[in-house]
């Protein structure tokens, strides 16, 4: 895929297929198509050191998600509950939908 194009959307269930979190499943919180990254819930957790900003607020270490490249993610089909390749097609009314290539069912975020 060209830069800026991705088949993943917000609220999709994905599985990590490479990296330190390989095999884990999560929901996409945000997609950054210009960088080909996605933010996945409880995946790729990093420690963020924050400085105290006010006189009575202390600095702390926060665990938060970091973006992960979309090539390391694979969409889980909601119908057959398998990870697989995704295709795009046009319906009779002209709308473009994603479909699972293994079961042939349409994938729409609920």
pLDDT in tens, 55-95: 888 999 999 999 999 999 999 999 999 998 999 999 999 99
Pairwise CA distance, residues 57 & 33, whole Å:
36
Task: Give the domain ranges of the chain.
Answer: 13-51+59-107
DSSP state of 83: B
Q: Which pLDDT score is estimated for 32? A: 96
Distance CA 88, CA 103 (A): 14
Give the 3-state secondary structure of residue 64.
strand
Q: Is the pLDDT at 11 greater than 80, yes or no? A: yes
Q: Please determine, looking at this structure, whether the domain spanning 13-51+59-107 carries the CATH number 2.30.30.30.
A: yes
Cβ(48)–Cβ(62) under 8 Å? yes
- Write out pLDDT tens, residues 22-53: 999 999 999 999 999 999 999 999 999 999 88
pLDDT value at position 3?
81
Task: Tell me the C-alpha to C-alpha distance, in Å, between residue 87 and each of 65, 99, 102.
Answer: 28, 5, 10
Instruction: Assess whether pLDDT exceeds 80 at residue 109.
Output: no
Q: Are 86 and 93 in contact (CB under 8 A)?
A: no
Per 3-state DSSP, the chain is made up of helix, strand and coil in percentages (nearest 5) of 5, 45, 55
């Amino acid at each position: 895929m060209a830069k800026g194009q991705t088949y993943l959307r917000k609220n999709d269930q994905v599985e990590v297929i490479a990296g330190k979190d390989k095999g884990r499943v999560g929901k996409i919180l945000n997609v950054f198509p210009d960088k080909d990254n996605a933010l996945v819930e409880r995946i790729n957790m990093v420690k963020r050191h924050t400085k105290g900003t006010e006189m009575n607020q202390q600095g702390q270490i926060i665990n938060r998600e970091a973006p992960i490249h979309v090539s390391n993610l694979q969409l889980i089909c909601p119908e057959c509950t398998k990870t697989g390749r995704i295709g795009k097609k046009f319906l009779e009314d002209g709308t473009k939908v994603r479909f699972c290539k293994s079961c042939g069912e349409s994938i729409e975020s609920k």
